[in-house]
């Protein structure tokens, strides 16, 4: 898993979604930002709202 995260950072992928057994059971995803920020576990609806707001404002949400 570490290698996949490192490769995604090197490819400059803005968000990485990590989905394991726990997240699948809860209907959530673990979210990491390329800039090194771990946003923790978010529900899919919360993640969609966050990304939608970021697209509308075209800015980073820290």
pLDDT in tens, 27-43: 899 998 887 778 889 99
Largest CA distance in the chain: 33
| Residue 23 binned pLDDT confidence (cut-offs 50, 70, 90) | confident
- Is 18:32 a contact under the CB 8 Å cutoff? yes
Residues of the domain holding 27: 2-56
Domain count, the chain: 1
What pLDDT score does 46 carry? Answer: 92
Alpha helix segments (H runs only) across 1-62: 2-10, 21-26, 44-57
CATH of the domain at 11: 3.40.50.800
Q: Is residue 11 part of a domain?
A: yes
The dihedral through the CA atoms of 15, 18, 22, 26 has a sign that is positive
What's the token pair of residue 26?
Answer: 């809860």
Question: What single DSSP character describes residue 16?
Answer: E
Residues, the chain, total? 62
pLDDT exceeds cutoff 70 at 62: no
In this prediction the pTM is 0.66
């Amino acid at each position: 898993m570490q290698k996949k995260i490192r490769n995604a950072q090197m490819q400059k992928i803005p968000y990485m979604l990590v989905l394991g057994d726990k997240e699948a059971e809860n209907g959530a995803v673990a979210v990491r930002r390329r800039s090194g920020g771990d946003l923790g576990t978010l529900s899919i609806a919360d993640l969609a709202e966050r990304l939608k707001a970021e697209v509308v404002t075209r800015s980073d949400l820290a």
